[in-house]
Structure 1
Amino acid sequence: MDDLGDLGAFLQSRRAQVTPASVGVAVGARRRVSGLRREELAQLAGMSVDYYTRLEQGRATQPSEHVLDALSRALRLDQAARAHLHRLARLGSRRPPLTHYPAEVRPQLRQVLDAMPGFPALIINHRVDMLAYNRPAGTLYCDLDSMPAAERNLARMIFLDAERCGTYFDGESCREDTVAHLRQAAGEFPDDAELAALIGELSMGSRRFSELWGAARVRVRSHGPKRFRHPLIGVITLHQERFVLPDGSGQELITLTPEPGSADEDSLRLLANLDATPASGPTAATTTGRPGA
């Protein structure tokens, strides 16, 4: 696992994923590497091999916007990965790092959850800890109230505890999205020791996580369909919207709504009726560390 805020490691990982044929680089029959060599990428980006090597080795700091854009084009980065590259390059000149990332959810946000009794809604942070959720969300994710607060983390559930509840129907797509989200968070919150510990734990505990992390893909999925598999109602498709809070806390509000008048709406209503636990409003879960912390 590379350092969370390591520009060089990110460049090296993405360079290894670009095939010479995809960028018009001719190769010989005895070539041993599948990705681009440093000199090939430097030529594509219009810079010297020495300068690119110093960037990858961390000996060159604060590259210009022009250099970053040239590298983005040469590496065929999409918009999310390009923004991540620029964030990594700015780490040396950013504002002083936060030393505390709040796990508390403001009372006003809990009121928002309480005002959404008809569909799942939850608050997560940049580590995908589930900080608070309403009753439909707790039921959809297989009775979150029965899980210790420190273990209510979407990444742990997906990679380390899939047998507890195969919540996501499109499992591989969800795994890819989750790793891409954490990679994005690593660029935004490189000083978060708990995020580093989580990524280390997932890398040691899940071979698939380690493979996806090594691919260094960055993606932010703000909205779109999500399919869930629940043991009581089967497969249900909901529309996800993610709202990033503007206070810099890394917290997001996620809503999951069915298509009006659809069978999914009926399934969600059925799930609510099957839930025998009395409604008690939104549930707060302070996740301040690893399981058992």
Structure 2
Amino acid sequence: MSDHTHRQELGRFLRTRRLRLSPEEAGLPPNDFTKRRTKGLRREEVAALAGISLPWYTSLEQGKDINVSDQVLDSLARVFRLNREERHHLRVLADPRRLALIPENNVPEVSSSLGFLLNQMPLCPAYISDSRMNVLAWNSLAFAVFGPFGTMDSRERNIIWRLFILPDYRAMFVDWQTLTAALLGHFRVMYSQHLEDPWYAEFIAEMTEKSPEFAAMWEDYEVRCASRHPQTLAHPEAGLLNLSNLVMPVQDGSGQFLHVYTPDSDDGSIERLERLALQTKEAR
């Protein structure tokens, strides 16, 4: 793993947090902030608020090789008003040794027990993904709800790629913007834990080139680790489906995740999903 890569990512993270925080939000005394040429805080203001020197903070933001104490990290988290997930992200980037990386197999395989579990949920769409957010296996109802996932080496297996590149898939999600921001935040966490994997850099570069929306949202640097992403789908056959998505890490050292979608119990989503499941069964 390259420490330089982690330092560069740390600097990028600090810079985005500095630029998104206004002087007023940081509690600075009133001044004529309208004359500023750039948005957010200046580096010297961050240094003063955190109680550290300007050259030291500048070096940190530039990705230079310096040691960072927990006290300094706590001060920066306080200045930037980081939430719990962002604080964890900051600490991992500052010291990758804090993160116990999960070893992954070179060939992503879904265990037979997981495959069996998928097929025991006939009324809940469910699938298995890896740390790159590629779909590895799914049950029949997930196929009926989300459509074909393509071959193993296809980009159609990637959840992020599908949301930005496939027009018909994207059109199903009523609140596409909120869902995509949440998933990109989760993808950012996965990326920060696998900075040594060249796949991520290649994928991000490809997505940035193909989708201006991805480029803008990736630059915004959202960090989220939420295990639930409520989704409302305007399904072409089933109609409106309100689903809650529970994401559970598979505790077998594979780095895989189990995604289970449960329908809303009050708005008819259960009945509509049941009809879709029956249609799928009869079509076999």
Common topology (TM > 0.5)? yes
Alpha-carbon distance in structure 2 between the residues aligned to 1:52 and 1:256: 44
1:142 aligns with 2:147: yes
| Alignment map for 1:64-83 (pairs within 5 Å) | 64-83=69-88
Gaps of 5+ in 1: 279-293
Trace 1:38-77 onto structure 2 (pairs within 5 A). 38-77=43-82
* Number of matched pairs: 274
Aligned partners of 2:18, 2:195: CA distance in 1, in Å? 22
Corresponding residue number in structure 1 for 2:35? 30
**Residue 120 (structure 1) aligned with residue 125 (structure 2):** yes
Look up the SS of the partner of 2:89 in the other structure: helix
CA, structure 1 residues 34+237, in 2 after alignment: closer, same or farther (shift >3 Å)? same
1:13 match: 16
User: Could you say which residue in structure 2 is the equivalent of 1:286?
Assistant: none
Change (3 A) 1:30 1:225: closer
CA distance in 2 between counterparts of 1:101 and 1:67 reads: 38
Q: Among 89, 92, 103, which residue is 2:94 paired with?
A: 89
- Using structure 2 for the length normalisation, give the TM-score: 0.88
Structure 2 residue identity aligned to 1:189: H
CA contact (8 A) 1:61 1:92 kept: no
CA distance in 1, matches of 2:233, 2:56: 48
Answer whether contact 1:142 1:230 (CA < 8 A) is retained: no
Paired residue secondary structure (2:168):
coil
Note the C-alpha offset of 1:235.
1.5
**1:167 CA displacement:** 3.0
Q: In structure 1, which of residues 169, 173, 193 is the aligned counterpart of residue 178 of structure 2?
A: 173
Give the deviation of 1:165 after TM superposition: 5.5
Counterparts of 1:97 and 1:132 in 2: how far apart (Å)?
20
1:155-199 superposed Cα distances (whole Å, 9 cap, x missing partner): 111111123562322111111112111111111111122122221
Report the more deviating stretch, 36-45 or 238-247: 238-247
Residue 212 of structure 1 is matched in structure 2 by 217
State the partner residue of 1:290: none
Q: Per the alignment, do residues 221 and 90 of structure 1 end up closer, same or farther by CA in structure 2, a change over 3 Å counting? A: same
Q: Moved runs in structure 1, 4+ residues, more than 6 A? A: 92-97
More helix by share: 2
Question: Would you say the 8 A contact 1:167–1:229 is kept in 2?
Answer: yes
Match of 2:136 among 131, 134, 150: 131
RMSD: 2.3
